[in-house]
């Protein structure tokens, strides 16, 4: 390459990198807060033509920490410096970006990866089944000892269930009877734990709860509440009072 052409190429490359960096910062400024607010944020990752879903444990500005994907108890290994495409799955929608792996973390015998966002975040689509991030106090009982009352709190809620956080060690498929109040109405719902994990930040347990016996009237009430709160949040984000 001639010297003049090389100078032009380097100037073009420098200009492109500055544009890319500015685009990343603008997209992070636009979307990172929304994603960071979702304690149940997940990501899709493709590895050797197979799709994996795992949890985001923390997201701060451009730094992402996520749980290592596992394939039949074998961990998925990424080299440091590896750039991978991911899809954030949040309560508001699906978002695509790339991250560069910078560190492996071992905590409580679980492997996590840390990476930096390496391309602009692009919103792909909205979610049809909206989860409302909300902190509600809940109580629940277990089938064999309904006299003993346990407590916890929600992280989000949908018509189909909730994400509950507490200190009690419970098993997947465990049946519960959960009580919570929403919009001045009390709901007592037979439920099932369908997934469980540990909160990376505080060590508490996070339980995905499925509602088993909501009637149609209760479903409509919860759906209406979620829809109204979603409208309020959209208006707030748009700066409309």
Boundary (domain end) residue, out of 126, 154, 174 = 126
Confidence at residue 109, expressed as pLDDT on a 0 to 100 scale? 86
pLDDT along the chain (241 residues), means of 10: 58 70 90 87 89 92 92 85 94 91 92 95 75 92 87 93 94 95 94 92 92 93 88 65 53
Whether residues 15 and 96 fall in one domain: yes
Q: Answer whether 153's CB lies under 8 Å from 161's CB.
A: no
Which pTM does this prediction carry? 0.73
Distance from C-alpha of 185 to C-alpha of 150, rounded to nearest angstrom: 20
DSSP string of 69-137, one letter each residue: PEETTEEPP--TT-EEEEEEE-SSEEEEEEEEEEEEEEETTEEEEEEEE-S--EEEEE-SS--EE---E
Boundary (domain end) residue, out of 65, 96, 126 = 126
Number of domains in the chain: 2
CATH number of the domain bearing residue 191: 2.40.10.220
| Residue 122 tokens, joined | 């692009």
Confidence at residue 182, expressed as pLDDT on a 0 to 100 scale? 92
CATH number of the domain bearing residue 99: 2.30.110.10
Whether residues 153 and 41 fall in one domain: no
Whether residues 108 and 44 fall in one domain: yes
Structural domain harbouring 31: 3-126
Whether residues 111 and 202 fall in one domain: no
Whether residues 38 and 109 fall in one domain: yes
Bridge-partner residues for 94, per DSSP? 89, 125
Whether residues 145 and 118 fall in one domain: no
């Amino acid at each position: 390459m001639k010297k003049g052409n090389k100078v032009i190429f380097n100037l073009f490359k420098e200009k492109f990198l500055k544009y890319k960096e500015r685009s990343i910062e603008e997209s992070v400024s636009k979307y990172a807060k929304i994603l960071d607010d979702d304690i149940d944020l997940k990501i899709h990752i493709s590895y050797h033509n197979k799709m994996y879903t795992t949890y985001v444990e923390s997201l701060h500005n451009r730094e992402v920490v996520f749980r290592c994907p596992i394939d039949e108890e074998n961990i998925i290994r990424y080299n440091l410096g590896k750039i991978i495409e991911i899809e954030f799955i949040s309560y508001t929608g699906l978002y695509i970006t790339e991250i560069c792996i910078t560190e492996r973390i071992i905590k409580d015998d679980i492997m996590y990866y840390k990476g930096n966002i390496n391309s602009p975040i692009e919103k792909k689509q909205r979610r049809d089944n909206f989860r409302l991030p909300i902190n509600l106090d809940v109580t629940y009982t277990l089938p064999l000892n309904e006299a003993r009352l346990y407590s916890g709190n929600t992280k989000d809620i949908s018509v189909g269930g909730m994400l509950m956080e507490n200190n009690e060690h419970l098993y997947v498929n465990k049946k519960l009877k959960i009580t919570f109040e929403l919009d001045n109405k009390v709901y007592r719902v037979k439920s099932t734990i369908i997934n469980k994990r540990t909160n990376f930040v505080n060590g508490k347990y996070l339980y995905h709860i499925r509602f088993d016996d909501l009637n149609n009237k209760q479903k409509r009430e919860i759906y209406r509440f979620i829809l109204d709160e979603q409208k309020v949040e959209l208006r707030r984000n748009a700066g409309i009072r």
